[in-house]
């Protein structure tokens, strides 16, 4: 793959799922270019797809990948190089490299292997990447039934990003497309909640609701576009001058007919050592990753200009006042 592929030119289709807060990526697998849709996840590292024979829930648009029909498939992967927590890897009795990784209380397991993948964007030439290490999953007990697998884009040796461009990992805020909710460290979370409390005052009833995964979220009795119409832009500040501007549609979700919930929770609930920026905060933003220089950038979309190609994007709300984080 090195010397044959320019990673900076890789393009593909990324689709926001209308019912589930995830981004879906279309790609093709193997010699016969089998269509697959996978969940983009910057918070995990393993790229895997369901493979025949498969044991688990299948409810996807595309066929489960059959490695026996791909002449470019190769199961001879170096476990010592690519396996590290949370991916557990070992040689099995046939000398293949079996793996297992936990997800959302379930797990996926199968064989680590090499094969070719193809990205085909709407607007550009296709990108063919040879000999990508991926998980050929034969057993699955996760709720990922809307997709054929997961495209892990984390910072470990195993992720597709690292396979294309090698780089060192540095701790900081995690940008995670696999989580709808965001987690902030105490000092940032308390500052945000304090500013929200100043805005709301005594006009709305306030309480905490425990959602799936036993996550406690701050909620308000009201309506997002009525009671938070004048809510100002919130700005997150990162190292090296990077900022992320967030409007009411990022910060809150209309969780019920008369219930508005904060899309951010205290990171201490999950004992996280760093903040995590989830999908709801990332929506309506262009996100740029400079892998080599370890930098990230955010730019808020003008959804009015995108209305013809992004019908579900919603209105862009850009008041002048800002809350500075």
- 36-53 pLDDT, tens digit per residue, is 988 888 777 889 999 999
Which pTM does this prediction carry? Answer: 0.55
Q: What is the predicted pLDDT for the residue at 226?
A: 92
Q: What is the predicted pLDDT for the residue at 181?
A: 85
Q: What is the predicted pLDDT for the residue at 66?
A: 94
Query: What are the structural domains of the chain?
Result: 7-164 (2.40.70.10), 174-324 (2.40.70.10)
- 154-177 pLDDT, tens digit per residue, is 777 777 877 776 544 445 677 776
- 172-198 pLDDT, tens digit per residue, is 677 776 678 889 988 889 999 999 999
Q: Which 3-state string (H, E, C) describes the chain?
A: CCCCCCHHHCCCEEEECCCCCCEEEEEEECCCCEEEEEEEECCCCCEEEEEEEEECCCCCCCCCECHHHCCCCECCCCHHHHCCCCCEEEECCCCCEEEEEEECCEEEEEEEEEEEEEECCCCCCCEEEEEEEEEEEEEECCCCCCCCEEEECCCCCCCHHHHHCCCCCCCCCEECCCCCCEEECHHHHHHHHHHHHHHHCCCCCEEEEEECCCEEEEEEECCHHHHCCCCCEEEEECHHHCEEEECHHHHEEEEECCEEEECEEEHHHHCCCCCEECHHHHCCEEEEEECCCCEEEEEECCCCCCCCCCCCCCCCCCCCCEEEC
Residue range 301-311: mean pLDDT, rounded: 53
**Higher per-residue pLDDT: 99 or 36:** 36
């Amino acid at each position: 793959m090195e010397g044959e592929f320019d990673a900076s030119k890789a393009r593909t289709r990324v689709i926001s799922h209308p019912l589930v807060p995830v981004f879906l990526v279309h790609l093709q697998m193997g010699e016969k270019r089998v269509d697959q849709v996978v969940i983009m996840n910057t918070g995990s590292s393993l790229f895997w797809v369901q493979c025949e024979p498969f044991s688990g829930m299948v409810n996807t648009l595309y066929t489960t990948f059959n490695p026996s029909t791909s002449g470019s498939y190769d199961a001879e992967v170096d476990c010592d190089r690519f396996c590290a927590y949370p991916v557990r890897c070992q040689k099995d009795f046939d000398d293949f490299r079996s793996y297992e990784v936990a997800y959302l209380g379930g797990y996926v397991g199968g064989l680590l292997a090499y094969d070719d993948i193809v990205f085909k964007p709407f607007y550009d030439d296709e990108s063919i990447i040879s000999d990508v290490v991926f998980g050929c999953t034969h057993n699955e007990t996760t709720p990922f039934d809307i997709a054929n697998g997961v495209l892990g884009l984390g910072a470990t040796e195993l992720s597709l990003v690292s396979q294309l461009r090698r780089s060192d990992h540095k701790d900081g805020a995690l940008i995670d497309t696999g989580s709808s909710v965001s987690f902030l460290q105490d000092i940032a979370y308390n500052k945000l909640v304090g500013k929200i409390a100043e805005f709301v005052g005594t006009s709305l009833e306030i309480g905490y609701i425990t959602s799936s995964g036993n996550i406690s979220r701050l909620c308000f009795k009201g309506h997002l576009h009525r009671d938070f119409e004048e809510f100002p832009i919130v700005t997150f500040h990162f190292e090296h001058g990077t900022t992320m501007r967030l409007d009411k549609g990022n910060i809150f979700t209309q969780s019920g007919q008369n219930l508005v919930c904060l899309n951010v929770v205290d990171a201490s609930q999950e004992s996280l050592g760093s903040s995590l920026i989830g999908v709801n905060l990332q929506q309506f933003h262009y996100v740029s990753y400079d892998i080599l220089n370890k930098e990230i950038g955010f730019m808020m979309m003008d959804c009015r200009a995108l209305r013809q190609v992004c019908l579900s994007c919603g209105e862009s709300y850009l008041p002048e006042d800002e809350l500075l984080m």
